[in-house]
């Protein structure tokens, strides 16, 4: 009876591949989609999501290291945010196939988002905080809607 239960189970390597393809990579794991995923150990990770998250984390680290500078010159955070958003929009228009270029463009989006979050925290005026929050919310919804429309594109 235990042998019958074990027959229906996939090997752990196959289950990990299926899990990472569905939840972490967002793309089919195939030769055609190799520019859309990173392979780290047994896991496949989405190039875009991973790059954005790493960008946010690195911006956060830089922010805490140079907090005095950014407090004195918050315009720098606004410029970093603008640059990140610009590259994200450019990436949607150009749709680069090269994995390194895609990674850098998405990383810059994360870096810009990290700067924007810092700006929202540092601005003393709560009206501006609410305005920036609404801007982040609308931008995220719009960006995800556009990305969703491109999700059905082939990976080639």
**Per-residue pLDDT reduced to its tens digit, 77-129:** 889 988 888 888 888 788 888 888 888 888 988 888 888 888 888 888 888 88
Q: Is 123 exposed, middle or buried (0-12, 13-18, 19+ CB in 10 A)?
A: middle
pLDDT tens digits, 35-81: 778 888 777 788 878 888 899 899 889 988 998 898 888 889 889 98
> Residue 4 has what pLDDT?
46
Query: In terms of pLDDT, which residue wins out, 148 or 87?
Result: 87
Domain boundaries, the chain: 2-150
pTM: 0.73
Contact 80, 112 (CB under 8 A): yes
Structure tokens at 19: 């899990």
> Residue 93 has what pLDDT?
84
Cα(13)–Cα(5) distance, integer angstroms? 18
């Amino acid at each position: 009876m235990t042998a019958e239960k074990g027959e229906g189970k996939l090997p752990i390597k196959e289950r990990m591949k299926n899990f990472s393809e569905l939840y972490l990579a967002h793309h089919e794991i195939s030769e055609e989609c190799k520019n859309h995923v990173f392979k780290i150990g047994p896991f496949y990770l989405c190039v875009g999501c991973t790059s954005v998250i790493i960008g946010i984390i690195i911006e956060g680290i830089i922010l805490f290291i140079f907090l005095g500078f950014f407090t004195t010159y918050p315009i720098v955070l606004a410029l970093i945010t603008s640059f990140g958003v610009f590259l994200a929009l450019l990436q949607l228009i150009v749709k680069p196939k090269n994995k390194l270029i895609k990674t850098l463009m998405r990383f810059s989006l994360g870096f810009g988002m990290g700067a924007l979050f810092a700006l929202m925290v540092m601005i003393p005026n709560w009206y501006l905080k609410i305005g920036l929050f609404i801007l982040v919310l609308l931008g995220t919804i719009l960006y995800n809607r556009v990305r969703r429309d491109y999700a059905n594109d082939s990976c080639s």
